[in-house]
Structure 1
Amino acid sequence: MIEQAYRVGEAWGIAVWCQDEASPFSTSPYPGAAWRPIEQPARQPHEYLRQGTAKVLTLCHPATGEVRVKGVRSVTNAVLHTWLKAELLTILATLPAPTDLTPRTEQRPAWEHWQHGLSRKPSLSAALPPLRLILIWDNQVGHHTPDLMCWLFAHGVIPVFTPIGGSWLNMAESIQRILKRRALEGTHPQSPEEIICWLEAKACGWNQHPTPFVWGGKRHERRQRAKRRRLGGSGATATYLPGDPLVSKTQAHIIAHRNGLQYI
């Protein structure tokens, strides 16, 4: 059902958003690139003081790549629900007005379609508005409170929960990894406020040129390309051996010739 939401939800006129809370980020050194442009290995202190942790509330729109984040020190239901409701109201205000004239008492089939296969289905209200947004998020206790469920249903939002052990189906985790890498790799933050500032700044930068997330895209090819070019622009260089599976036979012959070897 989650895969169907990613593939056809937007085509059916239903916005699809993902929500997740990023893991706690501590005030410790974060590893980065192995080499610097000055051709010296990067170094980090082996001792540090724990000044607390920071978390990031994330809403991601896979179709456009847009991300909405807020850094916090703790994620209680009061913090999460207040932020989520405010963000969803802003998102719903930007969506086209519903054109479905079906009475509210006959909207149930459209909602029940997105509950198919769920082991834990929230009880739907008797009268439902037109379905406008699908919210994909993790199956946590704080996401099932009756007050929050009733609020979502009243505003045309249906939650689709990831199964146990299936949090990787939530594309919000993908953008969280990108933001963490851009904001924290190779740094040593001294306070949670500094972590929050860096993550929110990178999110703003990302939204200037967002990249859509495509379900079933060429993730493996991108990872292989990143491995080959990880050292680009630094003082270190990479040499591919003839046996490298990423190197074609023609390239292998050239590499072997340059290194005084014979390619067999």
Structure 2
Amino acid sequence: MLAERLGLPLWCEDEAGPYQTIPLPGYAWQLEGTPGRQDHQYIRGKTCKFLTLFRPATGELRAKPVDQSTNAILHPWLKEELEAILKQCPPAPELVPEGRRWQDWDPFPAAEQLDRMYPPLRMLLILDNLAGHYSRDLVSWCGEHGIGLLYTPCAGSWLNMAESVQRILIRRALEGHHIYDVEILKDWLADTIEGWNRHPTPFTWGGKRHARRDRAYARRHRQGGSGATTQYVLPRRIRSVRYYRHIGNAIGLGK
């Protein structure tokens, strides 16, 4: 990624959930010939949320299962984790290099004023478009600490890689189980987070799946100027001999 190549750590943040204490589909560790059985009654229990900070370039994960993800819970946790991350980052240089200026990442003309208001960038943080992420307190705090905020566009949450790692962790922790107590659910999520960080997996854009999609799209055939494609070549309309004779007469080639 461009930010990491320029020496600027890039992190992603997201809140997942809520996750209920209900039977969850998926594979279960059952003996052959002994299928897993779930209770037929519905027991209404509490739910939990999943706060996530993820660095795709290294696979480092900072996450926490909580009861709710309100601003009163999310913002203190986020500031605490970001301060711990900044302690590991190198100090801001005296001469601001390329990629450390606010105007390098903000397309609006007013970004030049941010370079005069705040210190040089020390890291980037990708967020979605929740109203709480635009709060004055959070935005000003991040600016004072040299944290640039990049918001995913509407209907573009797939650009946030934190959602990808959340899906993996939830499947590892809860798939095929029926958890009755929300505290047990949070403990399982915490154990899964610890297991991930033992052997973190870096994420990159593209990869084998992306290459397969590109090859599949390349095999399609464009139609017209609308961007529509087909999986096979559409044959041209077969013109009759009478049609070509009529065209030849019209241009003076026929009798």
How many corresponding residue pairs?
210
Supply the distance in 2 between the matched residues of 1:107 and 1:221 (Cα, whole angstroms): 31
In structure 2, the residue corresponding to 1:75 is in which secondary structure? Answer: coil
The match for 2:217 is: none
Q: 1:180 to 1:109 in 2, by over 3 A?
A: closer
Corresponding residue to 1:176 among 125, 148, 166: 166
Asked if 1:195 is matched to 2:221, the reply is: no
The match for 2:234 is: none
The alpha-carbon deviation at position 193 of structure 1 amounts to 1.2
Supply the distance in 1 between the matched residues of 2:211 and 2:29 (Cα, whole angstroms): 24
- Conservation of the 8 A alpha-carbon contact between 1:107 and 1:127: no
Q: Please list every run of 5 or more consecutive structure 1 residues that lacks an aligned counterpart in the other structure.
A: 1-6, 223-264
Q: 1:221 to 1:26 in 2, by over 3 A?
A: farther
Asked if 1:154 is matched to 2:148, the reply is: no
Letter in 2 for 1:92: L
- Conservation of the 8 A alpha-carbon contact between 1:25 and 1:53: yes
The match for 1:75 is: 69
Supply the distance in 1 between the matched residues of 2:32 and 2:99 (Cα, whole angstroms): 63
In structure 1, the residue corresponding to 2:191 is in which secondary structure? Answer: helix
How large is the RMSD of aligned CA atoms in angstroms? 2.6
Supply the distance in 1 between the matched residues of 2:144 and 2:182 (Cα, whole angstroms): 36
Corresponding residue to 2:106 among 103, 115, 125: 115
- Conservation of the 8 A alpha-carbon contact between 1:35 and 1:41: no
Q: Please list every run of 5 or more consecutive structure 2 residues that lacks an aligned counterpart in the other structure.
A: 213-255
Supply the distance in 2 between the matched residues of 1:108 and 1:34 (Cα, whole angstroms): 47
The alpha-carbon deviation at position 96 of structure 1 amounts to 1.5
The match for 2:222 is: none
The alpha-carbon deviation at position 115 of structure 1 amounts to 2.0
Asked if 1:96 is matched to 2:90, the reply is: yes
Supply the distance in 1 between the matched residues of 2:70 and 2:145 (Cα, whole angstroms): 22
TM-superposition CA deviations, 1:60-95 (whole Å, max 9, x none): 010111111111111111111000000000000011
Supply the distance in 2 between the matched residues of 1:124 and 1:207 (Cα, whole angstroms): 35
Supply the distance in 2 between the matched residues of 1:197 and 1:19 (Cα, whole angstroms): 21
In structure 2, the residue corresponding to 1:9 is in which secondary structure? Answer: helix
- Conservation of the 8 A alpha-carbon contact between 1:24 and 1:53: yes
Range with bigger deviation, 163-172 or 37-46:
37-46
Supply the distance in 2 between the matched residues of 1:155 and 1:46 (Cα, whole angstroms): 52
The match for 2:42 is: 48
Supply the distance in 1 between the matched residues of 2:14 and 2:205 (Cα, whole angstroms): 18
- Conservation of the 8 A alpha-carbon contact between 2:102 and 2:115: no
The alpha-carbon deviation at position 215 of structure 1 amounts to 1.1
| TM-score, reference length from structure 1 | 0.73
Supply the distance in 2 between the matched residues of 1:201 and 1:67 (Cα, whole angstroms): 13
Alignment of 1:1-264 (within 5 A): 7-33=1-27, 36-102=30-96, 110-116=101-107, 124=114, 126-219=116-209
Q: Which runs of 4+ in 1 moved over 3 A?
A: 34-37, 106-109, 123-126, 219-222
| TM-score, reference length from structure 2 | 0.76
Letter in 1 for 2:159: L
- Conservation of the 8 A alpha-carbon contact between 1:27 and 1:192: yes
TM-superposition CA deviations, 1:166-206 (whole Å, max 9, x none): 11110000110111011001111112211111111100000
In structure 1, the residue corresponding to 2:51 is in which secondary structure? Answer: strand
Larger radius of gyration between Structure 1 and Structure 2: 2
Supply the distance in 2 between the matched residues of 1:155 and 1:55 (Cα, whole angstroms): 27
